Structure 1
Amino acid sequence: MIQLLDVVDYLNFELGIVHQDIAPRNLLVDPETDNILIFDFDRAALVGQPSCLPERNDVTGVIFTFYEIVSQDDHFRRVKHSEQDPNSVLSIDNWPAKGLLDCNVGEFRKLLNNWVQRRKDRDVASKDLPFTPSIPDVPPASPVIRGRDESGEPVWGKGLMQIRKNATKFNENVIIWDRPPRQLAPIE
């Protein structure tokens, strides 16, 4: 879990990116290294931009994620983001431990509470500081085969992103990836 806190701090403070969808469904753990990978940046925004929504802040996402991993209970997130209250989770004295943990719940809580307090202190201290992350330009898209002409020769085009439904409709290459089940494997 320390890795998640470090990654979120790095994204927010070093890169100026707010993920805005921190949740167990967007985390993968490499089984060989135990490294955590965060993905699904479709809601990500730069700090200070209009698309950076206060109700989707990463601190709240981390709080709910910790609780969901420990308790296997996601009911606090089944409401709109604007109605989610991290204090409803933080105020629970004893989190029910239903997931497989590598330390006791109290240690997770202490780690989380200390991080939340550090983030509050740092967020207040840096609130009025201008922040301009240095983000490199996006390289041009590689050309892709969009189809074939009457003679069977490839027709090249730009590799623009589109939704899967349209890509399959035009018989374009599509990667289909199913997420693994959310349920943890049974403890042996």
Structure 2
Amino acid sequence: MPFIPTLTLKDRLPRPFKIRWLRELMDLVDELYFEYGIVHQDIAGRNLFISDTTGSILLCDFAFSAQIGTVRHGQSVYLGEIPRCNDVKGTMFFLYYLITRDPQYSRYLLSDVDENTIMDRPKWVKHAGVELDYDVDTFYNELMAWVRKRRDSPKLAHYTLAPRHFEIPDPPEDGMEGWYLGRSHTMREMEAGRTTLSWERPPASKWDKSRKLLATGKYADERPPVRLMHVPDPKKGFPQMGMTNAALRGQDKRKQTQDVVGTEDEAEASKRRREEADE
């Protein structure tokens, strides 16, 4: 995929947002499913943007995508089209938040939200800062007509039933069952020089559940280590600032200058402390 220097629809919303982009997105979701047997499963503003060259909507980040009827890497479960993450549901929530800016959906997991909560038209109240090239009714009606059509359409049982399906090779294994090689998102961010957070807390399996654990990785009842202080010899007093170790041991016979032994006031104070200790 070529690099496209633009912001996603999460970071920059075109003014106005055009209904043709909604139509393009619905057509794209249909093409992936019916033509290729692929489900994206993460349709959201952060994965959508408008091309500066073609002016069309584009979908990126297929990290959660899968071929219908296959086993997810590292798991032994039938995947199919996961109802709680299906692309029709993702498109619905994308458009709903784009129009309403409902704060409860500013951050959400597709698997944790219910599309029935946004089906009613009265809930689709346009945010004052959002501009559309058609009224909300037009957007809503076109979306819901597509939703009903998709729900009534037959479901694919396996990606090989799609006319333009293709094979995807398995990722390389590292010798451990259920694990595959690859770089984490955090590692990629670090390599790119972006700011990342170093999580200091230990794994949950190692927590002492009876104690409160702070974000620093320390327990709340832990006390900072005690810093020990050296007790001076009562006859010698404190060492003079700036004196060499040899001079302190009496091995350096050179005359100590004021820069080495410190100021004259410091020397007098040290002498007075020694005299008081001898008394």
Q: Deviations over 1:69-124 (max 9, x none)?
A: 111225247555444111111114251222221111110011001000110111xx
CA separation of 1:39 and 1:168: change in aligned 2, threshold 3 A: closer
Give the match's secondary structure for 1:20: coil
- Determine if the alignment matches structure 1 residue 86 to structure 2 residue 126: no
TM-score (normalizing by structure 2): 0.47
Residues in 1 aligned to 2:90 and 2:186: alpha-carbon distance in whole angstroms:
30
The offset of 1:135, in angstroms, is 1.4
CA separation of 1:21 and 1:168: change in aligned 2, threshold 3 A: closer
CA separation of 1:17 and 1:177: change in aligned 2, threshold 3 A: farther
Q: Gaps spanning 5+ residues in structure 1: where?
A: 141-159, 179-188
Alpha-carbon contact 1:55-1:82 (below 8 Å) kept: yes
Residue 67 of structure 2 corresponds to 46
Alpha-carbon contact 2:40-2:62 (below 8 Å) kept: yes
Alpha-carbon contact 1:18-1:44 (below 8 Å) kept: yes
Say which one has the larger Rg. 2
The one of 6, 29, 46 equivalent to 1:8 is 29
Residues in 2 aligned to 1:167 and 1:34: alpha-carbon distance in whole angstroms:
29
Residues in 2 aligned to 1:32 and 1:102: alpha-carbon distance in whole angstroms:
20
Alignment of 1:20-169 (within 5 A): 20-49=41-70, 50-51=78-79, 52-73=81-102, 75-76=104-105, 78=107, 80-98=109-127, 99-122=130-153, 125-126=154-155, 130-132=158-160, 133=162, 134-138=165-169, 161-163=182-184, 165-166=186-187
CA separation of 1:130 and 1:167: change in aligned 2, threshold 3 A: closer
Aligned length: 153
TM-score (normalizing by structure 1): 0.68
Q: Deviations over 1:131-163 (max 9, x none)?
A: 41531455x9xxxxxxxxxxxxxxxxxxx7423
Residues in 2 aligned to 1:103 and 1:18: alpha-carbon distance in whole angstroms:
29
The one of 31, 34, 39 equivalent to 1:18 is 39
- Give the root-mean-square deviation of aligned CA atoms: 3.1
CA separation of 1:103 and 1:167: change in aligned 2, threshold 3 A: closer
Point out the structure with the larger strand share.
Answer: 1
Alpha-carbon contact 2:38-2:159 (below 8 Å) kept: no
Alpha-carbon contact 2:41-2:85 (below 8 Å) kept: yes
Residues in 2 aligned to 1:167 and 1:60: alpha-carbon distance in whole angstroms:
30
Alpha-carbon contact 2:45-2:94 (below 8 Å) kept: yes
Q: Which amino acid aligns with 2:30?
A: D
Q: Gaps spanning 5+ residues in structure 2: where?
A: 1-21, 71-77, 172-180, 196-279
Residues in 1 aligned to 2:67 and 2:193: alpha-carbon distance in whole angstroms:
28
Residues in 1 aligned to 2:52 and 2:188: alpha-carbon distance in whole angstroms:
33
